[in-house]
Every structure is written in C-alpha cells, then in structure tokens.
A and B are shown apart, each in its own frame.
Chain A
Amino acid sequence: MHALGLIFAPGLLANGPVRTALIVGAGAAIVSAVVGVFTVMRGQSFAGHALADVSSAGGSAAFLLGVSPLLGFLGLAALAAGGMEWADIRDARERDLVTGVVLGVGLGLTALLLYFDTLWGSTSGAAITVLFGSMFTIPASIVPLALAVAAVALVAIGTIYRPLLLSSLSADLAQAQGVRVRRTALVHALALALAVSLAAMTVGAILSTALLIGPAAASLRLADRPGRALVWAVLFGWAATWGGIVLAYDSFYWTPGRGWPVSFFIVLLILIAYLLASLAGRGGRLALRGARER
C-alpha cells in the first residue's frame, strides 16, 4: 500500500483536472497510435506533422475568438488535410514541396494570430498553450466532444481497414485489387486531421507528432504483422500518456513547487518504449516495406 502511495500521489484520482486529462489524453493517444501506424507505413510522417502545425493557426484563432480550442484545431486541420488530398499529387518530390509550402503559410498565419492574441487577448501565454499544450487546464466541458471526435476517427479507420492496409503496403497492388485508392487516402487524411487536433489539444501542436509517430514507429519495429503493430501502438501510446500524467502530477512533490511538464514525461516514456522495442524487435521489416517501393 505504501509503495502504491509513492507512485500515485495523494489526491491524484480525486482531482477534477487530472481526471479530464486522463480521459482526453487516453482518447488522443489511442486515436493517434492507430492512425499513426498507417501514417508511418504510407510514408506521410511529414504531412502528419505539417497538419499539426497548421492546425495551431486554428488553435490561436480560437483563443482570439473565445471559442473552444478543439474546434479551432479541428477546423484548420480538416481544411488542410482535405486540401492536400484534393491536390492529389503523386510525385513524391512535389508532395514534399507542397506540404512544405502549406506548412510555411500555416506557420505565418499562426505567427499573425498569436501576435493578435498578445495584442488584444487577456492571455499572454497563448503561444505556450497552443504550441506546447497544457493538459491540466483542459476544461471538463470538452470531454464529450473529444470522445466523439475520437470515436468518429476510429470508426472511419475501422470501416476502411482492409483497403487502407492494402493501399498503405502497396498502392499498385491495391489498385489492381479494385480498391478505390483515392477515397481511401481521403478518409485516412481526415482521420489524421481528427487525431492530430485531439493530440494538439493535449500535448500541444508541435509535440503531437510524438504521439502520432512515436508509438507507431516503436510498434512497427516490434511486430511483423499489421494487426499486432496496431495493438502494440495503442498500448505504447496509452501507457505513455497515462504514465506521463501520473509522473507530472507526482513531480510537483519532487521538484521545488512547480512540477515538470506532462508533455516532457509522455515523450520520454514513448522514447523509452521505442528504444526497448528496437532492442527486442525483428528489424522493422513492415516499416521499411512501403519505403522501398517509393
């Protein structure tokens, strides 16, 4: 009992903001892990990161307008994801550039909106909140919306699971099998937008990449089958998020008064999982298969 008391500091589960963080964090971690496995296999890590950064413009706009930040992140991420898929660029180099240019414009917009935030807003810490997240200040009222977003993303991936897997491993093969490759890609992009905005809410826009790519990369080094990789990714992401929240809460007791940020602990745990998976894994055949084709 005493040992448990050391890990779970007194009052952890009775604390409202912590409970909200645990629920929203778990949703973000699970959805990011599932979508992330496909994102890594499809070689779209850069697009995933760019969506997160572009969505931060929506987050800053939400601060300015006083609406729920999740809606802001969501709106811009969906817009950017739809736009990138609509442009439908096959050539890998051109896709890299378009992603880069969209990212550049999105960041410029974020700069402008954050500047307005500091000019007119009452919150001087908007930049830190939008870019680095602040899990313990998520309002409890957001829980239903966050869970709904998570459910929609998971259902979307679930309904296209087989065709998505096939087209992620080999687009040519999928086409030959009669898969509608473009529609599958669009659904994946929208699910990616949902996952990224949820993660941006919790760990911040620029660290959401860690939740998306970290668990997926770790699981793909460990597992040699897609189904198992999904299970491992969910376990890694979920455990790291809850572990990070608990450690951050506890750190108020070990550090002089302030505590260390949740995002730091979550990423630390994800990286430990990645290193352990690399040591135990069978060399990441699944992760590299898509790469060789491109």
Chain B
Amino acid sequence: MTNTWIVATLVAVVAGMVGFFVVVRRAAFAAHVLPLGAFPGAAAASLLGVSELAGIAVFCALGVLGISQLQRWERREVATALWLAVALALGTLFLSMTRQYSRGLYALLFGEVLGVSSRQLVPVAVLSAIAIATTAVLFRPLLLDSLSSELAAAAGAAGRRMELIFLSVLALSTAMALPVVGALMVFSLMVGPASAARLLTDRPRTAFALSVAFSLATVWGAIALSYLSDWPVGFFVGALGGLSYAAGRLRAGRARR
C-alpha cells in the first residue's frame, strides 16, 4: 500500500505540472495520443520478452518523432490522428499475436494502481525526477512560447524546437506513468485538474501550483474510493477530473457576474 501511495503521488505531481502546459498549449489531443500510442510498445515488449518500460519508452520516442515529422505536412491535430492510426494498427497486430494479453491490455489502458511492486518504484522515481527537473528549468521559455510564439521567437526560442521539447517532456512523463495508471488515465489526469486550475486564476504560477494540488487530490481521492468500492481507479480519476472542471466552470461563471 505504501508503494502504491508513493508512486501515485509522484505520478500526480508530474501529471499536474505537465498538464498545465498541455492546457495552455491546447495539446490535449497529443496528451491523449502519446500514451495511447505507447501501449503497443508494452505489447511488443511482452512478445519479445524484454522489459515493458523499454518497449513503452521506444514507442514514446517514436511518437514524438512521428508527430513532429507529420506536423511539417499537416495541421497539428491531423498529424496527431495519423500517428495514432499507425501506432494502434501495430498495437492490434501485436495483440493478435499474444493471445493471453487480454487481461494485461485492460491494465495497460485503464491502470492497476493497487498492485505496484517495489521493483517498479525505482524507474518511476528516476523518471519523475527528470521530468520535474526539466519542467522546472524550461518553465519560463515554455510558458512564453505557449502564450505568444511570436514573443518567444523574438526572445530566441524557436517554435518548432519548443514543440519538440514539449512533446519530449510529455513522452517522458507518459513513459513513467503508463505502467502504473494506464494509458487512458494518464490523459485524464493531465487534462482534468489543469483545466480546472486555469479556470480559477489568470496568474500562471498560481494556476501551475493549483494544477498540481488538484491532481494530487484527484489521485488520492480516486485511490481511496477505489479501495473502498473495489471499482477501477480509472473510473474515479475520470469522474473526479470531470467534476473538478465542472466546479471550476461554475465558479468562474459566478465570479464574472
């Protein structure tokens, strides 16, 4: 239970931080597609008998390269959708080759937080430290580029490079969180709390801190509810994310009047 709590807390902090940038950059689709496109890596790893994390990392990296390459030809969301099609087509192929994977598939997509072993703890801790450090170092340039790409270009931060860096940070946090909370829940955790935080304040630093706090509350609440009810964690993460966004909307609407 302690392992679960530590890992879930790390995942929540990273998701809250990265989620803030997902929201200001309007990158919800990429935040959905990178994790979903990385699960074929896990299936391939089990096919080849290598470590699951290695497979996921390779597919995350391929996703970053694939999306940024396709963006040269297509607008952003079409490029993202095309990469999704490529990755999932490979995913179905790998799944059809390993018949026993149906149980593992559910865990990979929707997560199984209540079963974290101590051996999974170390890579998650290392990866989340890297993700937190990168986000902290890049906070100012990334924020500048997200808010006004023209201003950032004048200050010497090239837009395409920033997009690549942002996608890499997204991929890194995905690789870390995916084996623990599942491909679909990484996404819910990035979008729900951060979008609620943005509704409550216009100040970037406050929104950033609120986003991390909401994300922690969502994860802890979801684990507790899941433990009590025996229902999947993924359901509570999605529901709490939706609720916090709705609450934020309601509050923001009242403040405007």
Chain A residues near B (Cβ < 8 Å)? 40, 43, 45-46, 48-49, 92-93, 96-97, 99-112, 114-115, 118, 124-125, 127-128, 131-132, 204, 206-207, 209-210, 213-214, 217, 221, 258-261, 263-264, 267-268, 270-271, 274, 278, 284, 287-288, 291
Contact = CB atoms under 8 A, between A and B. Distances in A.
Given A101-B191, A111-B238, A45 B26 contact: no
Counting from the closest, the 7 A-B pairs by CB-CB distance are A108-B238, A100-B28, A104-B188, A267-B89, A111-B234, A210-B85, A105-B242
B82 A274 contact: yes
Given A108-B238, A124-B102, A260-B96, 17 more contacts: A40-B78, A49-B32, A93-B26, A96-B26, A97-B23, A101-B195, A111-B235, A112-B231, A115-B231, A118-B106, A132-B95, A207-B88, A210-B88, A217-B78, A261-B93, A284-B73, A287-B74
Residue in A106, A114, A217 whose Cβ sees the most chain B Cβ within 10 Å: A217
A206 B88 contact: yes
A99 B81 contact: no
Interface centre among A101, A110, A132 (most CB of B within 10 A): A101
A1 B192 CA distance: 59
A264 B189 CA distance: 29
B214 to A, nearest CB: 13
A127 B185 CA distance: 16
Interface of B: 23, 26, 28-29, 31-32, 36, 73-75, 77-78, 80-82, 84-86, 88-90, 92-93, 95-97, 102, 105-106, 109-110, 184-185, 187-188, 191-192, 195, 198, 231-232, 234-239, 241-242, 245
Most buried by B among A96, A108, A268, A284: A108
A112 B239 CA distance: 11
Contact of B239 (A105, A125, A206, A258): A105
30 contacts: A43-B77, A93-B26, A97-B191, A97-B245, A99-B28, A100-B32, A101-B195, A101-B241, A101-B245, A104-B191, A104-B192, A108-B188, A108-B235, A111-B185, A114-B106, A114-B110, A115-B110, A124-B102, A127-B105, A127-B109, A128-B105, A214-B82, A217-B78, A258-B96, A263-B89, A264-B93, A267-B85, A278-B73, A288-B75, A291-B75
Contacts of B77: 43, 45-46
Is the contact region of chain B dominated by helix, strand, or loop, or is it mixed?
Answer: helix
B94 to A, nearest CB: 9
Contact of A268 (B80, B84, B89, B192): B89
B26 A49 contact: no
